[in-house]
Amino acid sequence: MAKTGAAVIDPYELLGVARDADEAAIKAAYRKVVKTAHPDAGGDTEAFAKISACYELLKDPVRRRVFDDTGYDPQLAEPADLKGLMVLETLINDMILDEREPGSFDPVAGLRRKLTDDILKCRFHILELERHRARVRKHLDRLGRRPETDVLGSMLRARAQSITDAIKASEVQIAAIERAYSMLEGYSYEMEPLPAEVGGEVEAEDLPKAAE
């Protein structure tokens, strides 16, 4: 995976304002940045659009609060990042609903294992689809003389196309899962020490006594 971490745009960083900046400070920063970023001043059109989008977010108290709480905004996130975030969001419920005591297991490692398993399942599914498509194409190649209304050929071609579309959908899903996996890089989880580790060596009185 070449790309690591989330590339969600940080509006505070892009506009150069503090996270507790008020509306006046945000507006002043936007006006300062936009002087050189505007296309009429020789700026890049795409960069100017991102700056404007950041300003629109920060001046909207609801969207700003959501960004502050979650770290991302759907309108600012790159499409690949947004798909990765959506994959992670579906797994967060499993983490929250796990009845085990927090600290007794590593949910981050669990998320990584789940994502790895999902990638393997998608790749196996693609292999199966490719085998099906190959058989369909072989049948098409072996159809000799055909009537003017080629019903069988049309059906087989349509089936081959639907399989191709399913393969593409699985490839898109793999990319989203891989992006979600990369977003977990840098995370660790603090586990509770095992009972024997709390006090160092186990005291003799703590050991079970032999039956008399």
Q: Does a structural domain hold residue 196?
A: no
Q: Give the separation between CA 151 and CA 66, rounded to whole angstroms.
A: 54
166: pLDDT confidence band, cut at 50, 70 and 90? very high
CA distance 198 to 188: 21
Residues 144 and 184 in one domain: yes
Q: How many domains does the chain have?
A: 2
Instruction: Mark which of 40, 57, 77 sits at the end of a domain.
Output: 77
User: Which residue type occupies 108?
Assistant: V
Domain span at 181: 78-189
Q: Which single residue is written with the structure tokens 């991102």? A: 50
Q: Please list the alpha-helical segments (H only) found in 143-188.
A: 151-183
Enter the tokens of residue 194: 């095992």
Could you report the per-residue pLDDT of 27-84, keeping only the tens digit for each? 999 999 988 888 877 878 888 888 998 999 999 998 899 888 877 787 777 778 878 8
User: What pLDDT score does 25 carry?
Assistant: 95
Burial of 31: CB neighbours in 10 Å, binned 0-12, 13-18, 19+: exposed
Q: What CATH number does residue 33 fall under?
A: 1.10.287.110
Q: What is the mean pLDDT of residues 152-158?
A: 96
Same domain, 85 and 148: yes
Asked whether the predicted pLDDT for residue 107 surpasses 60, the reply is yes
Question: Which of 77, 107, 130 finishes a domain?
Answer: 77
- The per-residue pLDDT for 85 is 83
- 46 and 27 together in one domain: yes
| pLDDT for res 117 | 97
